[in-house]
Amino acid sequence: AAAIDAGAAAARADDGVATCIRLPYDAVSRYLVDANVIGAGGYGRVYRGEHAGMALAIKVIEPRAGMAGDDADDEERRALDAELNVVSRYRHPHLLPVSGAYVPPADAPPHHRPLIAYQLLHCDLTERLFPAAA
């Protein structure tokens, strides 16, 4: 199974930012089922999962509507790189630390989507982000 590509992680390692755990697709793909959906956002669904004994929130990066082929692949990589760049560099109460990532290699089957995994918090995110409003 492939892992995060060298272009996304190695460049950040040179900047002194810790790289992510390399998630094997086969180890986390079994959690990518409707019963495990815990949320959805602009880039795709988020699933409850686990890897190496750690509870994870696994975000599946989906291509934007109307994107196909190489355009979709380029868009996915840009979206994933942008998100990893932000969440791996900055520490803030509103940003969850990245636990791992997976970027499918060029020869991966089409159903292999890019993934970003975060530590699964056992709380209401709205309450965590906006404690006065809760």
For residue range 97-116, list pLDDT tens digits in order: 788 888 888 788 888 888 88
- Give tens-digit pLDDT for 49-89: 999 898 999 999 876 654 445 555 677 677 777 777 777 77
Confidence of residue 14 (pLDDT cuts 50, 70, 90): very low
- Say what angle helices 69-89 and 6-14 make with each other, to 10 degrees: 30
User: Model-level pTM?
Assistant: 0.70
CA 127, CA 134: separation in Å to the nearest integer?
A: 5
User: Which pLDDT value is given to residue 36?
Assistant: 97
Q: Where are the domains of the chain?
A: 6-122
Dump pLDDT digits (tens) for 26-49.
889 999 999 999 998 887 899 999
Rounded mean pLDDT of the chain? 74
- Ligand-binding annotation for 59, yes or no, is yes
> 50 phi and psi, to 5 degrees?
-155, 145
Residues facing 9 on adjacent strands: none
At the topology level, CATH places domain 6-122 in Phosphorylase Kinase; domain 1 (3.30.200)
Q: Check: CB of residue 116 under 8 Å from CB of residue 22.
A: no
List the one residue out of 54, 62, 53, 60 whose CA is nearest residue 29: 60
**Pairing between strand 44-51 and 98-102?**
unpaired
**Class of residue 88 by CB neighbours under 10 A (exposed 0-12, middle 13-18, buried 19+):** buried
